[in-house]
Amino acid sequence: MQSPSRPLEMFFLPFLSPSHMIPLAEMARLFAVGGHHVTIITTPSNASILQNSINKDITAGHQIALHVVPFPSKEVGLPDGLENFFSVTNLEAAGKLYHAMTLLRQNIEEFIDTRRPNCIVSDMFHPWTADVAVLLGIPRLVFQGVCMFAQSLKDAVRRPDSPHLKVQSDYDPFVIPGLPDPITMTRSQLPHYVRTQNGYTQLMEQWREAELKSYGVLVNNFYELESAYTEHYKKVMDHKIFHIGPAALIHRNAGDKVERGHRTVVGEQECLSWLSPKKPNSVLYVFFGSGCRFPDEQLMEIACGLEASGHQFIWVVLGKDDDEEEEEREKWLPEGFDEKINGRGMMVKGWAPQVLGIGMEVGVEDWNLWVNAGKKVIRRESIEKCVRRLMDDGDEGVVLMRQNAKELGEKARRAVEEGGSSHRNLTLLIEELKQLRDHKSDG
């Protein structure tokens, strides 16, 4: 019988997008810090994003490595170096990138077959790894990139009796049955592939089938955040769920948090210098995530709303840079914007850290893909109203929101510490994977 203290060998296969790749890489680092042998499989450009963090772990003596597979740019008609959905601005390029990702299968499958790891941790966008894992007798864990609330919601609306199929209008509200809370939505807020049952729906079913074949789900948050929906989803899918996050808390200093993976366009000291004279709770951080690109008209409304609010802010704008011509700037920024917000606002054009807390709705009624986000423009008055409500003192709801955010932050820190829920889940998962490995060896 093999010694139970022998390290596991684990392969991690992330999706080609920062919002999925960086969290999964951080979770991989958790296993490496625990003494296990970790290999992250990715492509050349994406490997360069992760390399600095991996080098720090290697220097610290951890067994972690990147296995780089060639990216088939020419085969799908993409320029060299475009290997990440963060860089995609239209559906045609996104389709080519997804096709290229499917072509990676053969090289990756051969590598897995040669090395025969003890576990495969795969992003949901690689459903084929489920069949490979079954064939080789290796447990597969799936990383969804979203919380159990979102997963529960997605499963509810895929059912043939979902109420969205019965409403008369896209804007008629309905309650989604069977969830721990009464969640009200409209059909317009659902993805088009749910409403129209198109080809993307078939992909959703592939991902779900692959998840059902897996050993369990790996989640990058902590159990206390969504215990009701975790238990609900366990019953729906009848398999294991392991909350082992937030993995970003493995970064123990501000510099590491800033440089989590994708290179930032603003440095730690620049941010701290700007923030240091500000009063606590006086600066609003505005960022819609790496998967959201707004048209110029919506950016103009956001800029005007922030300016009119009178509050201090840091606004992260994707798809823009400091080298653009004045004529282009005028399409998405009001005249004199820089002068009006001088000292009060800071714009970051490009990637920025997004370890965030609590958000507030501004009135979005329609779902859109990231490349055409903001198709229905939210006007500046709504944005200004939202900012004022969030930042002005005296609103009991906002006071409670801030209190909840602070409490959740404290719970998150406790969860990843020794004895916390995420730490216990990580320990439990490692022991289960060792038992599976040793049972297979004995057999």
Q: What is the CATH number of the domain that holds 282?
A: 3.40.50.2000
Do 19 and 142 have their domain in common?
yes
Residue 258 in domain: no
Contact by Cβ (8 Å): 13, 39: no
Does residue 367 share a domain with residue 271?
yes
Return the SS3 of 347.
strand
Q: What is the DSSP string of 43-70?
A: -HHHHHHHHHHHHHHHHTT--EEEEE--
pLDDT at residue number 3: 45
Mark whether 373 and 326 lie in a shared domain: yes
Say if residue 182 is in the same domain as residue 310: no
Annotated catalytic residue, options 36, 57, 62, 123: 123
> For residue 188, is it within any domain?
yes
**CA-CA distance, 283 to 275, in Å (whole number)?**
8
Q: Please tell me whether residues 177 and 322 are part of one structural domain.
A: no
Asked whether residue 334 falls in the same domain as residue 202, the answer is no
Helix axes 91-103, 105-115, angle to 10 degrees: 30
Choose, from 20, 126, 243, 251, the residue flagged as catalytic: 20
pTM for the model stands at 0.86
Question: Closest Cα partner for 372 from 333, 430, 319, 426?
Answer: 319
Q: Based on the domain organization, do 308 and 361 belong to the same domain?
A: yes
Q: Are 403 and 84 in contact (CB under 8 A)?
A: no
Whether residue 301 lies inside any domain: the answer is yes
Q: Has residue 3 been placed in a domain?
A: no
In three-state secondary structure terms, 315 is strand
Q: Tell me, what's the pLDDT at 325?
A: 85
Q: Please indicate, yes or no, whether residues 362 and 240 belong to a single structural domain of this protein.
A: no
Question: How high is the pLDDT of residue 256?
Answer: 58
Do 150 and 175 sit in the same domain of this protein? yes
CB 220 within 8 A of CB 27: yes
Question: In the chain, which stretches have pLDDT less than 70?
Answer: 1-4, 192-200, 251-268, 290-291, 351-355, 357-375, 394, 443
Q: Could you tell me if residue 269 is inside a domain?
A: yes
Answer yes or no: is 15 within a domain.
yes
Based on the residue annotation, tell me whether 67 is a catalytic residue of this protein: no
Residue 99 among the catalytic residues: no
Strand partners, 9: 37
Residues 246 and 275 in one domain: no
Question: Has residue 79 been placed in a domain?
Answer: no
Q: Residue 275's pLDDT is what?
A: 87
Count of domains for the chain: 2
Q: How much is the pLDDT for 67?
A: 98
Is residue 156 in a domain?
Answer: yes
* 161 shares a domain with 21: yes
- Structural domain of 65: 9-69+104-251+416-442
Same domain, 295 and 149: no
Element (H, E) at 143: strand 140-143
Q: How distant, in Å, are the alpha carbons of 148, 168, 413, 430 from that of 34?
A: 26, 54, 18, 9
